[in-house]
Amino acid sequence: MNKNAIIYVAGHRGLVGGAIVRQLEKAGYTNLVTRTSRELDLRDQAQVNEFFEAEQPEYVFLAAAKVGGILANDSYPAEFLYDNLMLEANVIHAAYKNGVKKLLFLGSTCIYPKHAPQPMPEDSLLTGPLEPTNEWYAVAKIAGIKLCQAYRRQYGCSFISAMPTNLYGIGDNFDLEKSHVMPALIRKMHEAKQAGAPSVKIWGTGTPLREFLFVDDCADACLFLMQNYDDAGIVNIGVGEDISIADLARLVAGVVGYAGELVFDTSKPDGTPRKLVDTSRINALGWRPTVSLEAGIRLTYDWYREQLDAAGVRGVG
């Protein structure tokens, strides 16, 4: 990509999109185009077509999506399926119509079957039933992958798809009702430390294994793929190793400086025993992450405290 190329980052206010913008700016790309959801409703085909015709982006990072945890997926299945189908179809089709040179579609590892082999290779896609708690989102993401492959096959479009593992980092959501495990643990440990609480309660047994990738590493991988990969096959983005929830909780407690007891509530569900992606494809291309888990947690915690400070929340030290 030429440094002056017009690059559209869809979903720039989200966790991944924000990191992609930071990575592009860091790499010297100066002609970035963004729109908030209020400025451009990606579910509206007419608006999307008008935007592409006016801006004529040469490269597109499609990181926009309706996202949420298990409760949200279960409560709003229609919105999770419809909204994601519409926005990805509109952007991908407009990219084709307006001659976009290359598009990167961001999926999710929830596309893989519930009982996929571990680590999960890319070719396990569509080999078994999905995890029911997020199947609506997963089906939409699978449709996006197949749409990219279809436009490549029929029209020769350079559309590629990447599947990031569990992400965390700067710009994360720390709302305990909606957040994922990493930001939830950081917030719980921080608040317990501030309150002098003797213990912190953590859902489940602590035995499930999860993989965590710092979001700026994910953005680095996206830029790497945009510059070095052009094939129909999907590509996993991950670290290739996992950690138990119990060990993660201890690591977060250490970074935050919380010395109380960690109590595991075994009446709460554990979820999938293990969720790890096979990263051999992207590693063979020459990419590996650079931010260690502890360093990433520290960066995320520092950012979280800055947000609290900016919001005037007392006791953020």
Q: Which domains, from first to last, does the chain contain?
A: 7-168+212-237 (3.40.50.720)
At 67 the pLDDT is 87
Cβ–Cβ < 8 Å for 65, 193: no
Cβ–Cβ < 8 Å for 55, 95: no
Of 142, 140, 104, residue with least CA distance to 122: 142
At 272 the pLDDT is 77
Of 91, 90, 104, 214, residue with least CA distance to 158: 104
8-state DSSP, 124:
G
Residue 89 CA to residue 259 CA, distance in Å, equals 49
Query: In this structure, how many other beta carbons lie within 10 angstroms of the beta carbon of residue 38?
Result: 6
Known binding residue 108? Answer is: yes
Known binding residue 13? Answer is: yes
Known binding residue 196? Answer is: no
Question: Residue 173: phi, psi to the nearest 5?
Answer: -100, 115
Point out the catalytic residue in the list 137, 229, 258, 301: 137
Residue 279 CA to residue 250 CA, distance in Å, equals 26
Question: Given the DSSP bridges, would you call strands 235-237 and 159-164 parallel, antiparallel or unpaired?
Answer: parallel
Whether 137 is a known active-site residue: answer yes
| Predicted structure pTM score | 0.95
Known binding residue 69? Answer is: no
| Distance, CA of 43 to chain centre | 20
Helices (H), 2-99: 15-26, 45-55, 70-75, 77-97
Residue with tokens 């509206």: 44
Of 274, 268, 263, 252, residue with least CA distance to 204: 268
Residue 312 CA to residue 306 CA, distance in Å, equals 10
At 314 the pLDDT is 56
Known binding residue 107? Answer is: yes
Known binding residue 103? Answer is: no
Beta-carbon-side half-sphere exposure of residue 97 (alpha carbons within 13 Å):
15
Question: Residue 255: phi, psi to the nearest 5?
Answer: -65, -45
Cβ–Cβ < 8 Å for 14, 215: no
Q: pLDDT tens per residue, the chain (317 residues)?
A: 999 999 999 999 999 999 999 999 999 999 999 999 999 999 999 999 999 999 999 999 999 999 877 778 888 999 999 999 999 999 999 999 999 999 999 999 999 999 999 999 999 999 999 988 889 999 999 999 999 999 999 999 999 999 999 999 999 999 887 778 999 999 999 999 999 999 999 989 999 999 999 999 999 999 999 999 999 999 999 999 999 999 999 999 999 999 999 999 999 888 778 889 999 999 999 999 999 999 999 999 999 999 999 988 754 44
At 198 the pLDDT is 97
